[in-house]
A and B are shown apart, each in its own frame.
Chain A
Amino acid sequence: MPNAAYLIIVLVPLLPLLGFVILGLFGRKVVKNYSGGLGTALVFFSTCIAMWVGYDYFATGAGPDGAYHAFKVLNIHWLSFGPGFSIDMDLLVDPISVMMAVVVSFISLMVHIFSLGYMKGEQRYGTYYAYLGLFTFSMLGLVLSANIFEMYIFWELVGCSSYLLIGFYYDRPSAVAAAKKAFVVTRFADLGFLIGILILSFQTKTLGFGELIQMLGPGGQSIADGLGVPGARGVFLGFPVVSWGLALIFVGGAGKSALFPLHVWLPDAMEGPTPVSALIHAATMVVAGVYLVARLYILYANAVDVSQLILYVGVFSAFLAALIACTQSDIKRILAYSTMSQIGYMMFALGTGSSGNTSGYTASMFHLFTHAFFKALLFLCAGVIIHRVHSNEMKDMGGLRKQLPLTHVCFLIACLAISGIPPFSGFFSKEEILSAAWPTNKFVYGLGLFTSGLTAFYMFRLYFSVFWRRAPGIATSHHGATQLNHGAIAPNHGATAAHHGSTPLSMRLPLVILAVCTVFTGFIPFSHYITFDGRPGETVGPGLNAIPPVATALLGIGMAAWLYKKENSRPQQAAEAFRGLYSFARHKFYIDEVYLFVTKKIIFNGIGRPAAWIDKHIVDGLMNGLAKGTAAVSASIKGFQSGKVQDYAWFFFIGIAGLTVLFIYIYT
């Protein structure tokens, strides 16, 4: 297809936007019951277009040298700051942007279909679909951006939609707090992102991705070099300026992708409805950071120090999240931490680039692709389970395998995938990541390996606790409203308890589709299509280096089965044995408390209160003082108009006398 015809990709974000506008304006009253259908239909068309473009691009769009080129469609010149330096609204067609567009629209479609059943009966049904449409639009805009500032704009839009969706049940204070926390933490990280953008664009006087990479990459010539100003080659505090910019951009990405230490918002974000968690916090928004780093991969590969940073932050986040997930009891929290862990994997795969080994790029993107499917599947299954059991806590579940057979199978498939068991997709992608890590840094490889064992352990801990542990058929009672006020997250689906029966088709269909995808996407030869420079790479099939991950995974599964398949006291004993570490991990390593301490004691007391005092007493005081002064002056000269004749006579006389003096003595 000629490049101009790719313009159709502009419909992919615009259709959900249209959904948002229509449902936002009319969703409350007019089209209420049809909101779901309308939203889903629009996203369905969007997905079809994305898939068609994807097929066309990858099947036939290779250039003459066999490489997939990036090109821009839809060049709208928007804000111009100078010649060549402008914020344009462009759409970029490029291997990863097309892949991400397909993933985002597809997962969004699955979530839309699932929500038809899950959110049925919800009072704000139309608003929900409007928000979903907004989110889909923002995320698609983000992945299709060709200009870093345009991406920033969509980045913030994504943050805003996420806030709206997490806080969807706004009458619950915990949901409101979680939404605020997500927004504030990511916003704080976005400060780094913005400063990074400014630093990089200052060097190059341009904002487009292609130009940035070209000018700041190896062999590039930044404008600042040409001007003789210490620019891209300049050094600040011992590190090159470009490294600072890239590190700050990474900070922005780390916030959105919930890496340590900016991960604190992700577990709390589970207050939103479960399909929202599937969409946002599993497959799409949280990978925005990974996508950003992948976009600028060539620059990161060039900056050794920043790559080291990414490597260690990624692997540490993966490890920390896995540790915490082993001790949690809320199903959605476990899945949230597992997301954080997998994103850690993706991130550290991107950090391996500095050693000259660029397979990390492909591995990371492949894992992103497969992870989207099985993580969304996990969350949607969790949604079905929660819908059935009306509680999020594992202790209320157990023995569900006969009651929810389809969910059981799908959940099992997804768990096997995330643990990296062949032939499911997770095996291929995780194995590629570890292979990319091996030549770079052995310690990182070892930690990644250990973490994958932990991953298998806690995921199967969850699996066995939910579907085995007790004898099937034990009625998991409908706890109803009385259980809702425990400290734990209350079951968060808005529908009234009207679906004790079988799960509706709209909820089962996405599960099946995603399970199929999970099984088969592992076989896509990803490196044919997606490499850091577009040229197809060779796919190395799994060989001997696949054995350690699989072995550790099987070990983890076995341990989980031993501890959790039947109800016994071994987990309790194990927790007792590691009591300190266990309690530490259970409280999420007290990171939240540290943040709270810093904000409350240091920032609020040290900065907030004095600032408020200054505002109230000095700034306001100045204004009040002016007002009081004016009032005082006016009160004192009020006497001129007292209404008393004698005062008037006195003033009159003084005036006459004054004038007399003036005219006789001064003017003659």
Chain B
Amino acid sequence: MNQVPLIHILFVSTALFFIGMYGLFTRRNMIMMLMSVELILNSVNINFVAFNKYLYPEKLEGVFFTLFIIAIAAAEAAVAIAIIINLYRNLRSIDVETADEMKF
């Protein structure tokens, strides 16, 4: 830990964030988009704990944030899956481009 500057960890998390973004923009499958969102959330988690460890080592705020983010990510994933299943039943496809119209 002494030898790795904070900034490298931040680079890693930023890279992971943008990898997740790429996946969000590109993947046509809704479940794939969900996976990319998970990657993004994880990158944020890394950020929090890194800052906590390097800048405020005696406190725990970052850790708690990370815990809460994990919990919320779980809930969000569950709800997203439920929505995906509902859409799949209606549209018979999990291609995100088939859901391109508002209900009229």
Contacts and interface: CB of A to CB of B under 8 A. Distances in A.
* A–B contact (CB under 8 angstroms): yes
Interface of A: 642-646, 649-650, 653
A642 B24 contact: no
B100 A650 contact: no
A643 B26 contact: no
Nearest to A642: B100
Which of B25, B26, B33 is the most central at the interface, judged by chain A CB atoms within 10 Å of its CB?
A: B25
A649 B24 contact: yes
A644 B33 CA distance: 13
B100 A646 contact: no
B101 interface: yes
B100 A643 contact: yes
Contacts of B97: 644
A643 B28 CA distance: 14
Given A645-B96, A646-B25, A649-B25, 9 more contacts: A643-B100, A643-B101, A643-B102, A644-B97, A645-B99, A646-B24, A646-B33, A646-B96, A653-B21
Tell me the interface secondary structure of chain B in the complex: helix
Most buried by A among B26, B28, B97: B97
B100 A644 contact: yes
Contacts of B24: 646, 649
B74 to A, nearest CB: 22
Contacts of B21: 653
Q: Which 4 A-B pairs have the closest CB atoms?
A: A643-B100, A650-B25, A644-B100, A646-B25
Contacts of B28: 646
A645 B99 CA distance: 9
Contacts of B101: 643
Contacts of A642: 100
B43 to A, nearest CB: 15
Contacts of A643: 100-102
Nearest to B100: A643
5 contacts: A643-B101, A644-B97, A646-B26, A646-B33, A653-B21
- Which of A643, A646, A650, A653 counts the most B-chain CB atoms under 10 A from its CB? A646
A643 B100 CA distance: 4
Interface string B90-102: 0000001101111
Nearest to B102: A643
Interface string B24-39: 1110100001000000
Nearest to A650: B25
Nearest to B101: A643
A644 B25 contact: no
Contacts of A646: 24-26, 28, 33, 96
Contacts of B96: 644-646
B44 to A, nearest CB: 16
B15 to A, nearest CB: 16
A644 B28 CA distance: 10
A645 B80 CA distance: 15
A653 B20 CA distance: 13
B94 to A, nearest CB: 13
Contacts of B99: 645
B38 to A, nearest CB: 16
A642 B26 CA distance: 15
Nearest to A647: B25
A644 B24 CA distance: 12
Contacts of B102: 643
A649 B33 CA distance: 11
Interface in B9-62: 21, 24-26, 28, 33
Contacts of A650: 25
Nearest to B97: A644
A642 B97 CA distance: 9
Nearest to B96: A645
B41 to A, nearest CB: 15
User: Max chain A CB contacts within 10 Å: which of B24, B28, B101?
Assistant: B24
A650 B97 CA distance: 14
A651 to B, nearest CB: 10
A129 B100 CA distance: 72
A254 to B, nearest CB: 73
Contacts of A653: 21, 25
A643 B96 CA distance: 10
A616 to B, nearest CB: 41
A653 B97 CA distance: 19
A653 B40 CA distance: 14
A596 to B, nearest CB: 63
B33, B96, B100, B102: residue with the most chain A Cβ atoms closer than 10 Å: B100
Interface in B56-104: 96-97, 99-102
A418 to B, nearest CB: 86
Nearest to B21: A653
Nearest to A641: B100
A48 B102 CA distance: 85
A643 B102 CA distance: 8
A422 to B, nearest CB: 98
A644 B25 CA distance: 10
A15 to B, nearest CB: 70
A642 to B, nearest CB: 6
Contacts of A644: 96-97, 100
A297 B91 CA distance: 94
